[in-house]
Chains A and B, each alone.
Chain A
Amino acid sequence: MAKYVIKRVAMGIFSVFIVATLTFFIMNLVPGGPFVSEKSISAAAQQALNEKYGLDKPLGVQYVNYMSSLLHGDMGLSLKQRGRTVNQIIAEKLPVSCRTAGIAVAVALCLGIPMGCFSAYNRGKWADNIIIVLATCGIAIPSFISSVLLLYTFGMNLKLLPTVGLNEPAAYIMPVTALAIYPTAYITRLMRSSLLDVMGQDYMRTARAKGVSSVKILFKHALRNAILPVVTYVGPMLAALMTGSFVVEKIFTIPGLGRDFVSAITNRDYTLIMGTTILLATMVIIANVIVDILYKIIDPRIKLK
């Protein structure tokens, strides 16, 4: 187990390195640059800025410089948010995104798993049909539409909930709902189909024939086997949400990382792009390792290679 985790972490570090390298070169190969679009800046000032951030050096040198400071944990100065380091920006924005994402995923799990089970147990009845229709709609509605509609109905029309920022607990309700709709719907469908699959297995019939109580069958046999696909889905999804959802953050004016990432790309804030990309890749890889370990805990038959 320990050996496996070490191996996976080593592979993960290598993948992050590859992703960072590729991002670095793709980003620099695209025509334009961080200070090109600013018309107010004179050529001399542009030159000075390029020199200050080391952008006048050959690409190879820039790459080596960036990588060596990255190894020391320093992601450099942001090119556009003057005077702030990327580490500071991430340290400030990441907790906000993590908090909303964490609550959203918790809500999705608490609603999705029971709804999926309920629906599988009542297969073909009207309750099942209603849940399936709702879940399919939840998957079909893009997040920017659901966010805007929520904002319009509860924020502006009924004036029930605050529309801006995250200063009070009630302000979390709308962004979390908007973030949770898709995962809830997805988990419900996943849970339903995998539970239906498990319920047809022989060991379920055996358990029932032995006279095991239905509650015990559900928790000990059915759920434990059926939850694996959900675990696989939730890991990477949580990692992606934690690094911020641009749309929801923009609509509800939340100071999260997703907005900074997108504006960094459009502004060509190279260091911030690198910082957030590396962060995202690291989180996805960590999430996948955790998912694998959880697999082993949930289903001891699985052998980790």
Chain B
Amino acid sequence: MENLKKNPLSLHLNVDDFMPATNDEKQSLVVMRESVNFWKDGLRRLRKNKIAMVSLVVIILIAIFAYVLPAVWPYGYDEQIKYSENLAPFEYSEKELARIAEGESVFPHILGTDRSGRDFAVRLMMGTRVSLSVGLLASVLVLLIGATYGAISAFAGGWVDIIMMRITDILYTIPDILLIILLGMALKDPLEAISQQPGFGWMQKLGPNMISIFIIFALLYWVSMARIVRSQVLTLKESEYVTAARALGASSGRIIKRHLLTNCIGTLIVTTTLQIPSSIFTESYLSFLGLGVAAPMPSLGSLATDAVKGMNTYPHLLLAPALMISVMILVFNLFGDGLRDAFDPKLKN
């Protein structure tokens, strides 16, 4: 082509302009960006939300504090150390001082000890573990029951819907505390009997009391979840893909599972996350009434309640669990709010 010399006066076009484009050039002209699906979109928004990310970090730290640290801590949560009762934070008992003088290293009681001589830091960790487990497990149970109930109610429609919703209305009107205490009484004996049976050793370990709390929470708090799911499914079930699925012969169960519930997953995640702090809240409140997790297993609520009696002399025993409960409820609320901003389509922009 070089030999085609261009006459400056000629109207010949520049031949180079008509060469086929290289792959690099083609690439630069592609305007499509990577497709963004529901998850990526939501996660991107979530990552931008500073408060939610900080809350997530705090949640992870609390989880490590509750589930990992007790295993490596030198004291046990129900281990009573003699002559070390009622120590202030970082204080040593005379016996321990003597051991230190002998050259032994004694792990400090970072938060002191309680009136039975138990290291309070590890009790706080175990309490956090119990409260967190109650919060997480109860929320999962609430999710399972509430989502199924709500979806069936909305999908069936008609009189089934009416009856199912009236049942939730009635459950809503009876005072919580009445049902909680009565159910707790009713469940106590059968659960203890079951936990004595062979094969139910894990129940003994967990405490029948704690299992009854799970059951009570699951039975009581699915109502609002069911209502939220129902309202979502009511709109979703009119959509074309449900009609299409039905035309293809999908069963009702499959439509609910594969299409309806998967499409309100954003709401489900958000509501479940926001259920966690309220479960923690209720458990601590129950412990305050003396109906929570049984001794020697501590929960944050029972730790705080025990400390109330001696709060004049040992305020830190009250402040530490109180602060822990508040921080946990706070971060889960903030993280749940962040999730809602990220995943709830109504709140986009």
Contacts and interface: CB of A to CB of B under 8 A. Distances in A.
A191 B334 CA distance: 18
A136 B185 contact: no
Q: Size band of the A side of the interface?
A: 20 to 34
Given A142-B285, A247-B285, A266-B181, A281 B333 contact: no
Contacts of A27: 178, 182
B182 A26 contact: yes
A137 B173 contact: no
B186 A144 contact: no
A235 to B, nearest CB: 14
B65 interface: no
A140 B181 contact: no
Given A23-B178, A145-B326, A265-B182, A152 B315 contact: yes
A19 B178 contact: no
Given A139-B333, A265-B182, A15 B325 contact: no
B318 interface: yes
A48 interface: no
Nearest to A281: B173
A280 interface: yes
19 contacts: A15-B173, A18-B170, A18-B173, A22-B170, A27-B178, A31-B186, A32-B185, A136-B334, A139-B333, A140-B326, A140-B333, A141-B329, A144-B304, A152-B315, A152-B318, A247-B288, A262-B177, A277-B174, A277-B175
A156 B312 CA distance: 7
A266 B182 CA distance: 8
B322 A145 contact: yes
Interface in A260-304: 261-262, 265-266, 273, 277, 280-281, 284
A19 B288 contact: no
Interface residues of B, number: 35
A112 to B, nearest CB: 18
Given A152-B315, A265-B178, A140 B277 contact: yes
A77 to B, nearest CB: 20
A14 B281 CA distance: 33
Nearest to A132: B51
**Chain B binding site: helix, strand, loop or mixed by DSSP?**
helix
Contact of A148 (B174, B182, B189, B318): B318
Contact of B322 (A149, A280, A281): A149
A18 B185 CA distance: 23
Given A142-B326, A262-B289, A284 B182 contact: no
A277 B173 CA distance: 9
A30 interface: yes
A18 B315 CA distance: 47
A142 B284 contact: yes
B329 A140 contact: yes
A30 B170 contact: no
B289 A246 contact: yes
Contact of A30 (B177, B185, B305): B185
B311 interface: yes
B326 A137 contact: yes
